Structure 1
Amino acid sequence: MKIAVLNPKGSKAYSGPSVLLARLQQGLERIGGDSPLHLVPVEPQTLGMTHAEHDVATRSGQLAWSLRSSVWLLRNGREHEAIHLHGTYLYSLLPGLVARALRTPYILFPLSAGGDLSVTSQSNRSRIARRVRRLAVSGSSGGLALAPQISDELNYWGLERCQIERIYNPVSPDFSSVASEASRAPRATGRTILFIGKLGRRKSPDLILGALAKLRTRWPNARALFVGPYENDTYRAHFEGRAAELGVVDLITVTGHVDDVAGWITPETSVFLLPSLQEGLPGALAEVLSCGIPAGVSDAGAMPSIVAGAACGRVLPRSETVLAEFVSELWSQEDLWKRFSSGGIAFAQESLTSTAVARTYYEFVERIVTGANR
């Protein structure tokens, strides 16, 4: 089976949506099956878009993606058993209407809760936008949900509950080897806070700076490692200014973009913090759980249900003080650290491997394609 994956944020640069797809494809290759499923990436480069044209942060970039991907579908859509729309931004849903006209089944994969599918989203203030969204969502063959809130949002816009499949963010096997090393290393006594992701307002890494400043009195060897690039120059200036204001510049490391995240996870990285405003199921959380690193996360997306269900950390208010208290508790109670660590590894091994996630995806797509061919 060939599934065309329309990914407007696909590029040579690192992006969470593209990493998710790459790991999903790896898992699909491992499980094989009588009818192997192959993901065919349709990205800005596929459509011949220049860097300036495919900047989907701009209205012109969004319009260019909608038009070019729709034309691509008109020409090639029938050669694929189904279409996968990666992300449910309004501009990325429009090609779904083309697939609907072609009578080619298409599935939706929203990447975060509380985003464009949210009733309160700015993009849904327009009556026309709401109508287009309802047509595109209700006309799809099904949706994949990284978080319970995403299931609710898909249901609100017209999908039946039976058409929605819960799925997790897959983890690379590289992180399993890190977990094996962790079992032999004294990570519980490490004093480095870990953050993985794009440094920007949505993930709020600046709150970790405040927590670090509060921790250094009791823990003078406390450090923070931020693995990822800045979202933009404006946030970089804010982040660096805040670090200078708090006097923690010498206590932090910001890696910028890296291809090998696993290589930065050492025995010193003992706790993961992600105080995001908005999430689906971030790949970073899946990665650290598979490494056995306890997590302190905000009440966003699937993070609360994962962390509480796996007993691998705590769901915390977005407060510098509360973050610092959680880290201090972990660093002073090794038994608690080990309990959270074991919970994360067990959950990751059962649910977050690329093969486990790929099997869920394969069975979901197979049901849709089989139903469409009846």
Structure 2
Amino acid sequence: MANSALTEKMLKLARKNVKNPVDLLKDSGFINKEILVTLPVPGLNLAHSGKLSGPGAGISYGSHQIVGESKTFKTLFGIIQVAAYLDAYEDAVCIFVDSEFGANEKYWLACGVDLNRVIHLPVSSVEEMMNVVLPMLDETSAEDHVIFFNDSFGQLGSKKELENAMGGEAGKADFTRAKSMNSFWRLAVPLINLSKTPFIWIGGMYDTMDQYNPIALSGGKKGELGSDSVWVITKSKQKDKVENKEQQTGWVFNIKVHKGRFTREGTIVPICVRYEGGIDKYHGILEFARLVGAVDMPRSGYYCRSELLGFVEDKQLPKSQLTPEWYESILGNVDFQQMIADRFMVSTDNLLNGATENIETE
């Protein structure tokens, strides 16, 4: 169907004085955020996209914030995502904006990152980050394969705060930090999305007295508003039987989706990291599969794949005998992928279905 004369006139006027692409909404490349990379850990895919595996599972471009107490694997979660992006695009580069200097070489190498593809950008204040990062984002196009990782924005001070300390006025109140943080995100978020760049950053948090909202984010309110995902991470001990004795064998890092464009808010995804063997890729998959009816437990401690997935009279196995191949047969099943999406993705149903009524008129 041809565009009307008025539509063509408005398009021409809109394109006249802007450098960004202007098109009809149906042809715009910015209304549906595509998933750029599928991550190697199914749980991380779920936390980002509402899908564990299959098409559309993984990380999109946009702002992605990670917060949590100390030693909750935040930095390594960020590096894992950087590694996956670099693996997906052979020409990709990472801009590592560093203010904490806690991501040592071992972290990067443990995730398989080629350090020659990471540009280390140390910053000491919010204003310095603005002066360096914003021009880089502005010069990055949607065709460039660039991923930003900032560790950590929540811990950055302001230039004024530093000047006060250097001038012997360390206790003097500084009101510029929050303003600068919010200013950065007001300017950065449009540039991040126009350049279709994943921007992963470690934020800050603090406890509140509000029983309904016990934590608050401290990376700037505009940073929270502009984020496509916000993960709040806590941890608990992972215990397993070793020589018939229960021992701590690692940690479970619980990702709570505080905010998500794709995943329902409040979703909790456990990621297990063991002292020996590192990340357990399949941790939690059994529980998610049982939740959606993809796996049955016909008798205590024994599991089989459901007939809903096409398995008829599947062999019943104890958890200790569930192999990677067994888990992969579930993750690769298209029916299972849809079941998980239906359970965890943000609904796209018609919002107005129940809002209309037939009104009789005289």
Bin for the TM-score computed over the shorter chain: 0.3 to 0.5
Q: Which has the higher helix share?
A: 1
**Structure-1-length-normalised TM-score:** 0.33
TM-score by length of 2: 0.34
Q: Give 1 or 2: higher strand fraction.
A: 2
Task: Name the larger-Rg structure.
Answer: 2
